[in-house]
Amino acid sequence: MTLVAEHINKRFGNTVALRDVSIELASNEVHALVGENGAGKSTLLRILAGAERPDDGAMRLADARYAPHDTREAERHGVALVHQEITINPSLTVAENIFIDRLSRFSRYGFMQRRALERAAQQVLDSFDAGIQVSTGIERLDLGQWKCIEIARALSHDPQILFLDEATAFLGHREVDALLKAIRALKARGLSVAFVSHHLSEVTEVADRLTILKDGNLAGSAHVADIAPAEIHARMVGRDISGHVFPPKAQRPPAEIVLAVQDVSVAGRLDDVRLDVHSGEIVGIAGLKGGGGEAVLELAMGVLAPQRGTLALGANRYAPRHPDAAWRAGVAYLPGDRTGEGLIADFSVLDNIVMARPPRRLGMFDTRQAHRDVSELGARLKIKAAHPGIACRALSGGNLQKVVLAKCLHVAPRLLLLNNPTRGVDIGARIEIYRVIRTLAEEGVAVLLVSDDLPELIGLSDRLAVMRGGRIEHTFAAGDTADETTIVRFMT
């Protein structure tokens, strides 16, 4: 089944999201969409999947006119979409989340046929080796596993065309490998798969063709085998960025310790962890999901309490009872789930950035200072927003990530905790974020970085700890050479 879209145009107010874009998706083919945040990738997928209506242009599916009014109509035509942001309902079970819009199908005489529901859900999960049992409580699963459930939800419609909007952004290494394997299997079954990704390694591994968008315009289309990664990046950002991804690391003697984790254990999460983070230093933590990196961040933010051992912030004992106490102590946190934990999507850009420390004058909210602060941080991080009052849900994923980072910077932190800071961010924005993180370290901020992106950890970290099963298995000291193969060996 071939889907063709021609001369697609789409505006949101004064913002041009797509301008005269055409694309063809063929059966038995994997098609990648790449481009900077705000380039129009997600908008194009949403139009193809019926979630948005184009202003102009036409679409054909299997040589017939195709103009779905919504995603349900698109699904009836065999087209399914996995959205960029997490859409899991934590109050429901795994199986209920997969069949959330068709639960009545498993009801008889007013009673839910749970065995049939769970059997169908497990079959879909097993079809792409998700490694998730439907009997597992949804609260025990991590973000990567939640994303796998969303993919299973789309596959449960038995689509002929599947759209994945940055589906790997929340996945760990093993989960990404499983998803790429699933994409290959879907292609082998004759499906057309189109996906958005900011990781060219994923594109070159599974895609047959790619389309490059820039500022809503078509910047190129090619067979993946015929175009070099450097040229893809150059067309995406409009300049050559080869060799300039990570800023140079500082060469300085260790400064004072800002965070000291001293022999901390938490049942099922951490086991006798000892870790120091110095002023002006970026310390990275590598590991598989559940390895312990996120637990260390939760510990420093007051989400998790040590059962044994202690923490120190500077020269003082540190035992925050909740995140608010950590923020007031000068500890800022960029979480892995930006829309679930990092910001309130219906609030404005300004409200989200100043949320943790609102500027005040004579006891009242200082609107003028807030606008000055947001203007300065917006320029520093190159946030693309029509105006500070616009709701965050109108922004692209990468710009949402920058808003969360701006919120962290607004409190002038002494310790910055980062959980996958460039998740869902294009290469151009990633370079900007790396520059800001390194600049903060040079200004004396202590940075603790957890990431699923090993090149990111290697390129940014002054020291790198590798965790497995809640323990630190190995630490690469400043000056040590850390390579992906060695890190993975310690992780697994």
pLDDT band at 188 (very low <50, low <70, confident <90, very high): confident
* H or E segment to which residue 457 belongs: helix 454-460
278, exposed or middle or buried, with CB in 10 Å at 0-12, 13-18, 19+? buried
Q: How far is CA 233 from the centre of its chain?
A: 19
Amino acid residing at 363: G
User: What are the domain boundaries of the chain?
Assistant: 3-237, 257-491
Residue 267 to residue 322: CA distance in whole angstroms:
19
11/430 Cα distance (integer angstroms): 26
Q: Where are the alpha helices (DSSP H) in 218-262?
A: 229-237
Average pLDDT of the residues in 464-486: 91
Q: Looking at domain 257-491, does it have CATH number 3.40.50.300?
A: yes
Beta-ladder partners of 36: none
Is residue 425 over pLDDT 90? no
- Cα–Cα distance between 308 and 220 in angstroms, integer? 56
Closest by CA to 276, choosing from 246, 254, 302, 298, is 254
Q: What is the mean pLDDT of residues 208-232?
A: 92
pLDDT-based confidence at 242, cuts 50/70/90?
low
**pLDDT (tens digit per residue) in 149-182:** 998 999 899 899 999 998 887 777 777 887 888 8
Global pTM reads 0.72
Residue 15 pairs in a beta bridge with 12
User: For 3-237, CATH number?
Assistant: 3.40.50.300
Buried b (16+ CB within 10 A) or exposed e, 381-390: bebbbeebee
Say if CB 300 and CB 293 are below 8 A apart. Answer: no
Calculate ∠ Cα 305-309-310, nearest 5°: 70
Mean pLDDT score across all residues of the chain? 90
Quote the CA–CA distance of 352 and 369 in Å, as a whole number.
Answer: 15
Record the tokens describing residue 386, joined without a space. Answer: 């029509």
